[in-house]
Amino acid sequence: MAATKPDNASSTVAALRRSFDSGLTRPLSWRRAQLVAFKSLLRQGEDELVGAMRADLGKPALESRLTDLSFVAAEIDVMLRHLDAWTRPEHVRVPLAQRPGQATIIREPLGVALVVAPWNYPVHLLLLPMAAAIAAGNCVVGKPSEISPRTSAALAKLAPRHLDPRAVAIVEGGPEETGELLEQRFDTIFYTGNARVGRIVMEAAARHLTPVTLELGGKSPALVDADADVDVAARRIAWGKFLNAGQTCVAPDYVLVHERVERRFLDALERTLRAFYGDDPHRSRDYARIVNDRHFERLSGLLATTSGTIAFGGGQDRAQRYFAPTIITDVPPGDPLMDDEIFGPILPVLRVADMDEAVRYVSSRAKPLALYVFAASKSTVDRVLASTSSGSVGVNLTVQQLAIPGLPFGGVGASGMGAYHGRHGFETFSHRRAVFSKPTLLDPPVQYPPYTKIKEWILNKML
């Protein structure tokens, strides 16, 4: 894998800063051309990128196109369609005491941005924030994950063929290269990954007082009430959980199911998994693999140490990094499966007496990136929303809230800070600059000293 040497990180950032300072990235015509170039990269590099993700993650081709390539292309279409409106000055009402005058908010680019991406959706989670940074008029460094090396290499090769190298750079490599990048002064840093590295990013950013956006994870719960459509709930939870072999930041990490429908739900899950992947998911062309040996061993260790019962699945093939879709029941609260985000195809199903118990369980833990509630009763859904906190919520669905460009995607508390998608991504990479201007033809003396009694009376009336 080619890598930018650590001693080149400073020169890379310096070159991008010179480009930004020259005004290269500010014209809307340049931004639009670069967004179109992103689409060209995705279209012309489709086969290479799909093949790379297949090699890195065992991703089915259709899954790669839907969750990585098409997703990013659709978001870029939104940017192109609305860029004029997003960049238009926003007029603000001026209070009587400050009239005459005009107040506006103008969006200006922050400067040079760093985007550090993870390995699980290696195209989507690198190119989408990079495109948002370009839409806002910035220069940007993209750092793909070394854990998906083939996709990283493909992106590093394709980017300079399509994107303006004066304003866009891809830096490959591992922790050493990432650390060297974090030593540089950026104007904003966008990181997607785990909380441990998120803290390192924040510490590095603090040295330069650089703003950060952190898209982290957490144990996203799915709540299934007694009145839920159990078959639909099982299908949608299974799809969201086992997409990409569970290696999705907003995948349902565990299920809290009402005791009255637990058995029906488990039976429906088993039927669903057989329908999705057949009796032997190992042979399914539609089921991904674990990204590397380290993560495979981590998941294998979780399964070996759990006190729960394997209700379905559990099969493994280390040589192919195959880990079967696995359902675990009777999991005690202190079980290793319930400590950290699983990030793999193991789904604990916990029985609760009612939704109040489920809400108490969720609220006693760190705020998750996503929360899913399956219920027919609107009052139940409203109660869950009012009593919990999460980055996003899916009602009778999983994962698909990400596909709505108008909704902000981001975490809260330990699951992250800041948001993107649609206009929210444009705003993340923009500074909202306040501008107030007054005419000079009128300059009433009432606002200036000395403050006579009549001036005080007038000013008090105006306040």
Phi-psi region of 246 (alpha: psi -120 to 50; beta: other; left: phi over 0): left
Residues 6+ apart with CB under 8 A from 66: none
Contact between 329 and 266 (Cβ < 8 Å): yes
Angle at 230 between CA 229 and CA 235, to 5 degrees: 105
The H or E element that residue 38 is part of is: helix 28-44
Task: Note the helical H segments in 208-286.
Answer: 230-242, 262-277
CA distance 235 to 323: 20
75 is catalytic: no
Name the residue among 352, 119, 330 with its Cα closest to residue 256.
352
Task: Note the helical H segments in 58-140.
Answer: 61-64, 70-87, 124-135
183 is catalytic: no
Q: Are strands 102-109 and 112-116 parallel, antiparallel or unpaired?
A: unpaired
Name the residue among 76, 57, 261 with its Cα closest to residue 147.
57
CA distance 305 to 334: 12
Tell me the DSSP string of 193-215: S-HHHHHHHHHHHHHTT--EEEE
CA distance 78 to 98: 38
Single out the catalytic residue among 139, 172, 249, 341: 249
Enter the tokens of residue 5. 């040497």
The H or E element that residue 255 is part of is: strand 254-258
Angle at 126 between CA 241 and CA 43, to 5 degrees: 95
CA distance 47 to 65: 10
CA distance 260 to 405: 37
Single-letter residue type at 289: R
Q: Are strands 188-192 and 346-352 parallel, antiparallel or unpaired?
A: unpaired
Tell me the DSSP string of 348-399: EEEEESSHHHHHHHHHTSPPPSEEEEE-S-HHHHHHHHHH---SEEEES-SS
Single out the catalytic residue among 63, 172, 177, 215: 215
- Catalytic annotation, residues: 215, 249
